[in-house]
Every structure is written in C-alpha cells, then in structure tokens.
Amino acid sequence: MRILHLTPGTGNFHCGSCLRDHALIKALRMRGHDALMAPLYLPLVTDREFGTQELPVQIGGISLFLQQKFTWFHKLPRFIHNWINKPNFLRKASKRMGMTSAKVLGEMTLGALLGTEGRQWGEWHKLLEWIRTQGKFDVVSFSNSLLTGLAPTIAKELGIPVVCSLQGEDSFLDTLPEPYRAQSWGAMQRNARSIRRFIAPSQYYADLMRQRLDIEPSQIKVIPNGIDATSFTTSSPDPNWPVIGYFARMIHGKGLTTLVDAFIDLAKRGTVPRVKLRIGGAKTPIDEKYVAGLVSKLKAAGLANRVEWHPNLSFKDKVHFFHDLTIFSVPATYGEAFGLYVIEAAASGVPVVQPDHGAFPELIAATGVGVLCKPDDAKALADALETLLNDDELREKMSKTAMAKVHQEFSATRMAERFEAVLLEACAVAV
C-alpha cells in the first residue's frame, strides 16, 4: 500500500505525536508498505536524530502566516518562498512561537480548518499540487485533525481516501479565544464528513471526540500508540537514593507544578529518606520563566540539591534517564488523549503514579504499571508516591507485568498492524 502521512513538525523540541508518527511510519515500512512522511509548518524533530526529516517542509509555517495576512502572498516568486522555508530559518522562527497572540493563533487555526474558504488556501493549494506530482497514493493519513481543512479537496479532487489520527487537539482548541474556538470546532465537524476513518489512541478520547465531531461510532477506531519497546532497558535504580522521575514538556499543564509541590511535601515528611526528583523532557525558550520559578521554589524549600534537570535529551540519554528511576509521574492537569511517557516508563519497568482522569485509567489497567490518585492534588500525589516507594514487592510485581504487556500490546509493530487494518478498511469503504 502506498501511504502519504502528513505531520506537523515542531522545529526545536520533541513531542509525543512526532515520536509516535516516526515509529508508525518505520513500522509500516517494515511491513512492506511504501509509506512516505511529509513534514508541514516546521522541520520534524525526534529524540533519536535531531532535525531528521523525510522530505523538506512542504508548507512552511511562516508562509502560511504571511498568506493569512496577505492573500496575494502565494503569487510571489518561488525563490522568496524557498528562502523563507529553509530549515534553519524555520527553526529560528519556531523559537519565537510563544510570542504569537491568542487572536493570531485563533486566526491561523481557523484559517487552516476552513480549507478552500480560508485565506491560507493559496499556500495549501501548493501542497495539493505537490501530491499530484508524487504518483498515486492509496491513502492520505493526517497526523492530527487540525489538518482536516485539506480533506474535502483531497477526497473530491484527488479521489484519495483520507484517515485522520486524533492526538489531543481538544486541549488546544479549547484554549482559543472566541469566536475562533466555536468556529474552529464547527469547521472540524464539517471536515469530518470527508474523513473515512478517525483513529483515537484511547477509548476515552474516541468517546470524547466522537461527540465533539458529531460522527458515527463506526467512523472512529481505537489504536493505542506504540513504541520501539526493545530499545528501552530495565530500570536499576540505586536503592539508597530513590528517584522520582518526570519526562514530558516542562510546563504547568503537564502537572510539573503539582509534582514539585508533592516532592517538597514528601521530602518534609521524612518517610522516604534521601528521595530525589529527576525532571526531563522538552523545554523551549518560552518555558524558561516557568522553570525558573520552580527552581526558586525548590531552593526556598532547601531541596535544590536533590533535583536534577535534563531538558531536550537524545533518545540514548532518555533511555538512560528511565534506567535510573524508582518511580515515575506526569500528573497532567487535563485529560490526556494517551500519554506516551507512561508506556516508555512501563517499557523500562518503572511503576507510575498518574491522575485518575483522561486515558490514564486505561493505560494503567492495560499494563498494570502503577496506581491512580486524585487529579490536581499535591498531597494525594505525595501520599501515592510515598506508599509505592515504600513497597518494594509491589513495585517489583508492577515492573515485571508492565514490561511484558508493553511488548505484547504497545509495540510499534502492534500499532502498525492495527493501523494497516484501518487503512484497508478505509480504502474498501464505498465513496
């Protein structure tokens, strides 16, 4: 099967969706498919090879921004567009993304979702023309539903079935100011009619997005995200220095504030002597002020020497990061669509404590890797961490169970098998 997978790049930091897409395409190729991954907006970044990309960025974020502002922009000479879309230029621009106002972000999001009716179509149309030049694809796959403005034209003019993955878009769309929030959801509902199949990473998210997109249950399938589980090593922490780990973007929304507060509480109790906190994951320039505030809080508590910070690690360093952990937690403040970091911890045999919402109950039930606690409650998190850290036998049991389950159900190979089945089904559906 010939597959075109369109995925937005981040330019300068790792994200779970990028890692999932990279693993999926690699696994599909291993199954004999001609799968091509084309980056949009910014260059792709993975934690194995910084800046690795399948192709040059097809539609640059700067070009789309200028097209939104000036509808004649797409008519400028090609050399101007080529210069603007140079990888290094796009990466530099990505570091300023936090300076985008909420209004501009709303305009850009809605503009993309409106498709042919939006101001950005002069640029997006170039992507359609590029697809025409690449030979016949059996199916086009979107990494997320924010790309669905392309679906009606791809389906109607190119005659190619479209499938779309769902990766937590609701948490982004719901932060947009009105009227962009309501209009964006309305545009996505209209675009959904041109999608053969949606793919959700959890039943929780399938149920949520089925309602918000107003689609039939048969139109959405659940395929858990997968990883190359064999690349992770079994954790072997120092029993004299128990370590709590966190590995996600260093932002409030991922619950880092809650975890720091819980760590301070736990350290003051003295029930887990010499406990340490190790924080890793993506950190962008706009996260610096937030992280600095947490550093100051830890210094004030006299615990700065027990906390390590490891931003933007390579894949090799991330494996080593998990290898030294006793326990793991990313207490996200919102309902996560999945939580790839939970599977990475499970693959390393590291028990987790996660909030009882979103996809976390499903992941813990499926892997046996940990326990749940009350969301957004530092004391409840500290209680759960304390209990698990003081129960060596339970952690050992969780570790063995989780590693076996990840290899069985959450491998990249298993994800690709399920994805392939959905693609075949989508292609077989009558237009």
Residue 408 pLDDT > 70? yes
Separation CA 254–CA 243 (nearest Å): 19
**Domain spans of the chain, in order of start:** 2-226+412-428, 229-409
Per-residue pLDDT, 141: 97
Separation CA 3–CA 209 (nearest Å): 24
Residue 382 pLDDT > 60? yes
CATH class for the region spanning 229-409:
alpha beta
Separation CA 144–CA 6 (nearest Å): 9
- The string of pLDDT tens digits covering residues 222-281 is 999 999 988 999 999 999 999 999 999 999 999 999 999 999 999 999 999 999 999 999
Q: Are strands 243-247 and 162-165 parallel, antiparallel or unpaired?
A: unpaired
Per-residue pLDDT, 89: 52
Long-range contacts of 72-75 (CB under 8 A, 24+ apart): 72/122, 73/122, 73/123, 74/122, 74/123, 74/125, 74/126, 75/122
- The string of pLDDT tens digits covering residues 37-51 is 998 887 665 554 434
For residues 387-399, average pLDDT? 97
Identify the burial level of 53 via C-beta atoms within 10 angstroms of its C-beta, where 0-12 means exposed, 13-18 middle and 19 or more buried: middle
Task: Give the DSSP letter of residue 335.
Answer: -
2-226+412-428 and 229-409, same CATH topology: yes
pTM: 0.90
CATH 3.40.50.2000 fits 2-226+412-428, yes or no: yes
Q: Name the token pair of 293.
A: 């505030």
Q: How confident is the prediction for the chain on average, in pLDDT?
A: 90
Quickly state the pLDDT bin for 321 (edges 50, 70, 90).
Answer: very high
Least-confidence region, from 41-45, 143-147, 320-324:
41-45
At 117 the three-state DSSP class reads helix
Quickly state the pLDDT bin for 60 (edges 50, 70, 90).
Answer: confident
Per-residue pLDDT, 54: 54
Q: Name the token pair of 45.
A: 């970044």
Residue 91 pLDDT > 80? no
CB atoms inside a 10 Å sphere around CB 92: 12
